Structure 1
Amino acid sequence: MSTDPRTIVIVGAGQAGGWAARTLRSEGFGGRVVLIGDEAHPPYERPPLSKAVLAGEAAPESAHLLDAATLATLSVEWLASARVARLDRAARQIELADGSTIAYDKLILCTGGRARMLDVPGADLPGVHTLRTIDDAQRLGSALRPGARVAVVGGGWIGLEVAATARKRGAEVTVIEAMRRLCERSIPAALSEHLLALHAARGTEVLLDTGVAGISAIASGGLRVALANGREIDCDVAVVGIGLVPNDELARAAGLACEGGVLVDAQCRTSDPDIFAAGDVAVARNGWAGRSMRLESWQNAQEQGIAAAKSALGHAVHYDPLPWFWSDQHDTNLQIYGVPQPSHQVVVRGDPASGSFVFFYLDGQCVTAALGGNAARDLRFARRLIEQRKPVRRQDLADPAVSLARL
């Protein structure tokens, strides 16, 4: 039996929280580990929810990162369907909604985020879905029947993945995007055009520069989505995918520094030296982007959860990851390394129309970001070029005959 008297509490049992718990044990921590989650499910990964799980090709359990038996083996006290009501920093304890308290020596906040709601009349009607949790995926999946009319509000990554999966299941899909192009905040115009063509070719109607004025139930069943331009779309299912709201209320109420999420340093430490944060709720300065930001990605949830656990144990940590994001839509795998900027010069390798291509973003002679479709091998070498900051010739990047491995 361990004689370590310390207790580390992890609030949030998602991917970041699950990796934090696992890491505490793999790094040899012998004290008490308490993992608190507000869902009934053990820690799980979210990417399959909009893909294999939503498509009915994989069971929800396939997304589990750790099951109950593994948590027990690791001697992690998992409190499911539990909500933390208050964080008392002076007493170094958390208070649960049922009134019970748990004292901590170190606290790791992995509270993640929730789906942003549409602020229009009727947004809370039955038949209007968001996709953030396993339960969301199961509810939405049961409604994606062949022939079902689906309106997807939001032409970002989650909206387009849902649209692709719905078409795969035989539904009729309309995507409604308020911006002038798809994924406008995160990708260049050329890739937006490629995504538009990709979804249009699969029979999805895409409406750009189009806002939603309201949603109403119709007498024949289903919903009517009223657009700001006066058009109305009747559907059986509406899915809202317009971004994420960080769950930083607990931290704010406790007086921790927050700015669109919980502010942390390169050691994942908050403004309280005994409290750390990781995952979708954490805001940190990213040297690759040159600014502070939240990284909403599978990569960050895992790696920052690991880093926060190590830092809580007093290990030397400097967490400044090269951002990596990926998305599967229809038969296209898209990946982004780094943060493309408008000031970067762009070099294209391959032809986007062929489905396999890479956009390189250069600052001077150095590659600082890359994104591509169906080009996993080239992107692996692109990542190395970014990390090495090695000068390259643009003509070599553009020429498919020149090996990126040689560069």
Structure 2
Amino acid sequence: MVDADQTFIIVGGGLAGAKAAETLRAEGFTGRVILICDERDHPYERPPLSKGYLLGKEERDSVFVHEPAWYAANDIELHLGQTVDAIDRAAKTVRFGEDGTVVRYDKLLLATGAEPRRLDIPGTDLAGVHHLRRLAHAERLKHVLTNLGRDNGHLVIAGAGWIGLEVAAAAREYGAEVTVVHRGPTPLHHVLGPELGQLFADLHRDHGVRFHFGSRLTEIVGQDGMVLAARTDDGEEHPAHDVLAAIGAAPRVALAEAAGLEIADRARGGGVVVDERLRTSDPDIYAAGDVASFHHTLFETSLRVEHWANALNGGPAAARCMLGRDVTYDRVPYFFSDQYDLGMEYSGWAPPGTYDQVVIRGDASRREFIAFWVKEGRVLAGMNVNVWDVTDKIQQLIRSKARVSTEALADPHAPLDSLAS
């Protein structure tokens, strides 16, 4: 029975943690809620860091989940700039802050997120090497892109995933020269496969981005602490004034691992293992957002999803489970991206090797279409590009697991909501 004598602690002040705190109060929890964030900024959303805020189209204050005064008004004990260095599961306590404050919990939520993977090559200590994960990173990168655009400078980006491509688009809008170095054969290959990855390569080439596929950075060359060039393993040297490492993110599991919680294999994406109720191997500890690895019943596999929607929905789901509500977390993975004049939304899960064909509805050459990843007639994933208000229908198709005609999928006159019936 949840009551005012209980203490719920949330470790991690991103979107998942902030929405979990909000949900606890919205669901009527009157006990103590402690939200511990290792950044000094109030909890914020991350998509604007590589989109609107980076481009100067959104104000800094627009990224925050709540107004600063909201936390005190809702009796949320917010600790900014504080790290948790230990969980004692036997005593049910966490230790945090410079003074080693120890607080007992009844339920604990880990929403520690992920951190950028680092380039393990010479030259990463130079002043012009960047990552993009935190608001401070975006503020710095925004200044860098402004200067590169003004001076016709060169940015080399390691990695052609979503962050790499969104920053490439932003850099070109500022007027910077951009080279993207990527180990795969196309951008986004591990997510979209070669069929749609090529579309993004063409999009960026049309806007002046240079790609160097099938290679990786081996050294960043500098002088007097500043970047001069980036070298690749095939002997090429690319001029650069700045370098962005966008080679993925690793779940922040050190705290959970030290506490003896079950951790997923890195081959499966790593993360803290949770069940369908977002409970870890300790029934009083939950995990949500980028750090959580859960078995998705729809796709019959373990997933760790690093996108905004997972934090937005996972935090509240974990909060309700902590309160004893009967909740199963089985959201269809969803993410979105904006690059130049292309806007897209992707629903589902269909990495290369899981599907047998890609069906296109619309005109891919005009970048106005829906793509479906299909296996044995069943839709595993769908991506709408510059076509809107179809996400619910695409997710309905995925959830139905119905066998559909590929001819009907490709026919723009066949209503999507009739195909899953």
Same fold, TM-score > 0.5, yes or no: yes
Shift of 1:339: 1.1
SS of the aligned residue for 1:40 comes to coil
Partner letter of residue 183 of structure 2?
A
* TM, length-normalised to structure 1: 0.96
Shift of 1:368: 2.6
Q: Who is 1:198 aligned against? A: 203
Shift of 1:344: 3.3
Tell whether the 8 Å contact from 1:288 to 1:339 is kept in structure 2 after alignment. no
Cα distance in 2, alignment partners of residues 221 and 365 from structure 1:
54
Q: Who is 2:273 aligned against? A: 263
- CA deviations on 1:300-344 (whole Å, 9 max, x unpaired) are 001110111011111111111111121111111122211125333
Partner letter of residue 383 of structure 1?
Q
Tell whether the 8 Å contact from 2:396 to 2:417 is kept in structure 1 after alignment. no
Q: Who is 2:300 aligned against? A: 290
- Kindly indicate whether residue 329 of structure 2 is the aligned counterpart of residue 322 of structure 1: no
Tell whether the 8 Å contact from 1:16 to 1:302 is kept in structure 2 after alignment. yes
Tell whether the 8 Å contact from 1:218 to 1:224 is kept in structure 2 after alignment. no
Q: Who is 1:169 aligned against? A: 174
- CA deviations on 1:213-261 (whole Å, 9 max, x unpaired) are 1112136953321111111112111111000011110010011111211
Cα distance in 2, alignment partners of residues 159 and 252 from structure 1:
29
Cα distance in 1, alignment partners of residues 39 and 369 from structure 2:
40
Cα distance in 1, alignment partners of residues 3 and 390 from structure 2:
50
Cα distance in 2, alignment partners of residues 279 and 138 from structure 1:
24
- Kindly indicate whether residue 97 of structure 2 is the aligned counterpart of residue 87 of structure 1: no
Cα distance in 1, alignment partners of residues 346 and 358 from structure 2:
14
Shift of 1:182: 0.9
SS of the aligned residue for 2:124 comes to coil
SS of the aligned residue for 2:311 comes to helix
Q: Who is 1:131 aligned against? A: 132
Unmatched tracts of structure 2, length 5 or more: 265-269
- Kindly indicate whether residue 229 of structure 2 is the aligned counterpart of residue 229 of structure 1: no
Tell whether the 8 Å contact from 1:4 to 1:31 is kept in structure 2 after alignment. yes
Shift of 1:387: 2.3
Cα distance in 2, alignment partners of residues 3 and 207 from structure 1:
58
> CA, structure 1 residues 336+184, in 2 after alignment: closer, same or farther (shift >3 Å)?
same
SS of the aligned residue for 1:377 comes to coil
- Kindly indicate whether residue 65 of structure 2 is the aligned counterpart of residue 65 of structure 1: yes
- CA deviations on 1:76-124 (whole Å, 9 max, x unpaired) are 0000000111111111111114211111111000000111001111122
Identify which range, 220-229 or 185-194, moves more after superposition: 220-229
Tell whether the 8 Å contact from 1:43 to 1:67 is kept in structure 2 after alignment. no
Q: Who is 1:102 aligned against? A: 103
Partner letter of residue 42 of structure 2?
P
Q: Who is 2:8 aligned against? A: 8
Q: Who is 2:47 aligned against? A: 47
- Kindly indicate whether residue 377 of structure 2 is the aligned counterpart of residue 376 of structure 1: no
Shift of 1:272: 0.6
Shift of 1:68: 1.8
Tell whether the 8 Å contact from 2:126 to 2:226 is kept in structure 1 after alignment. no
Percent of aligned positions that are identical? 40
Identify which range, 344-353 or 127-136, moves more after superposition: 344-353
Cα distance in 2, alignment partners of residues 365 and 230 from structure 1:
45
Cα distance in 1, alignment partners of residues 404 and 340 from structure 2:
33
Cα distance in 1, alignment partners of residues 48 and 129 from structure 2:
21
- Kindly indicate whether residue 417 of structure 2 is the aligned counterpart of residue 402 of structure 1: no
SS of the aligned residue for 1:54 comes to coil
Shift of 1:367: 2.2
Shift of 1:405: 4.2
Q: Who is 1:76 aligned against? A: 76
Cα distance in 2, alignment partners of residues 80 and 7 from structure 1:
18
Tell whether the 8 Å contact from 1:358 to 1:379 is kept in structure 2 after alignment. no
Q: Who is 1:307 aligned against? A: 317
Q: Who is 2:158 aligned against? A: 153
Shift of 1:384: 2.0
Partner letter of residue 127 of structure 1?
G
Shift of 1:406: 4.3
* TM, length-normalised to structure 2: 0.93
Unmatched tracts of structure 1, length 5 or more: none
**RMSD in angstroms over aligned alpha carbons?**
1.6
Shift of 1:170: 1.1
Shift of 1:357: 1.3
Q: Who is 2:117 aligned against? A: 116
- Kindly indicate whether residue 287 of structure 2 is the aligned counterpart of residue 277 of structure 1: yes
Tell whether the 8 Å contact from 2:7 to 2:32 is kept in structure 1 after alignment. yes
Identify which range, 209-218 or 395-404, moves more after superposition: 395-404
Partner letter of residue 22 of structure 1?
E
Cα distance in 2, alignment partners of residues 200 and 25 from structure 1:
48
SS of the aligned residue for 2:72 comes to helix
Shift of 1:290: 2.1
Shift of 1:289: 2.7
Q: Who is 2:397 aligned against? A: 385
Tell whether the 8 Å contact from 1:213 to 1:226 is kept in structure 2 after alignment. yes
SS of the aligned residue for 1:167 comes to helix
Which of 202, 210, 213 is matched with 1:208 structurally?
213
Which of 243, 248, 258 is matched with 2:248 structurally?
243
Shift of 1:3: 7.1
Partner letter of residue 230 of structure 1?
G
Cα distance in 1, alignment partners of residues 231 and 262 from structure 2:
40
Q: Who is 2:358 aligned against? A: 346
